[in-house]
Amino acid sequence: MSDKYKLITPDDIYKNEAVHAYIKAGNQNLGAIGLTEHGFAHAKRSSNYARDILKELDYPQRTCELAAIAGYMHDIGNVINRSDHAHSGAMMAFQVLNNLQMPPDEIAIICAAIGHHDEKTAYPVNEVAAALILSDKTDVRRTRVRHDAVIDVDIHDRVNYAVEKASFDIDAKQKICIFDITIATDICPVMEYFEIFLERMVLCRKAAQYFDLQFELVINHTRLL
């Protein structure tokens, strides 16, 4: 690496003051709108899962680190607006990473992944993008529902609240990945889960295909996809 550029690690990003401020503010904005948690817990989980997915599939260590960085930063665009947050987030990430003197070819991969993570315009354009889609879209959990949420009113809250268990596992040998969730059907019928998450699950299938994996969705012990 030339002197012009620096090796930026996931730890550098976890500790970065600007990234910290943007995740915090983005999450506050979504809270004001009444949307689920998109703060540090979601950022760290997305980071860990994106990295682990690529590790499991034997990608080089540096590619796994880029996925960890993209995962952590992917929702910072919520600072600007929920709408188009993938694109504004990619531009913000560019600014941060460019200031840190990350090499341009690495910035390009991360910005592509962040810019392609939101359902409406998502696409697994590279391995980091595919891993980010899978890590982001499989983060459904009760703790993402905010304390002041009225779950009878909002279907997203209800669906997240209803999730008792969720796991995402890759079986590289069998060429499958399984998203296995248990939901309390007295809180949310399986149909409601589908109503909101079908688009996300189709996207996960596309991301899995990037790795030549078959995506399976299991809800309450029944395979649905």
Q: Which stretches of the chain bind Fe ion, using CB under 5 A?
A: 75, 136
If the CB atoms of residues 65 and 136 are measured against Fe ion, the closer one turns out to be: 136
Looking at the Cβ atoms of 61 and 81, the one nearer to Fe ion is 81
User: Closest separation between CB of residue 174 and Fe ion, Å?
Assistant: 28
Q: Which is nearer to Fe ion, 52 or 75 (CB)?
A: 75
Q: Name the residue nearer to Fe ion (CB basis): 75 or 127.
A: 75
Q: Which residue's CB is nearer to Fe ion, number 127 or number 136?
A: 136
Q: What is the DSSP string of the chain?
A: --TT-----HHHHHT-HHHHHHHHHHHHHHHHHTPPP-SHHHHHHHHHHHHHHHHHTT--HHHHHHHHHHHHHTTGGGGT-STTHHHHHHHHHHHHHHHTT--HHHHHHHHHHHHT-SGGG----SHHHHHHHHHHHT---GGGS-TT--TTT-HHHHHHHHEEEEEEEEETTTTEEEEEEEE-TTTS-HHHHHHHHHHHHHHHHHHHHHTT-EEEEEETTEE--
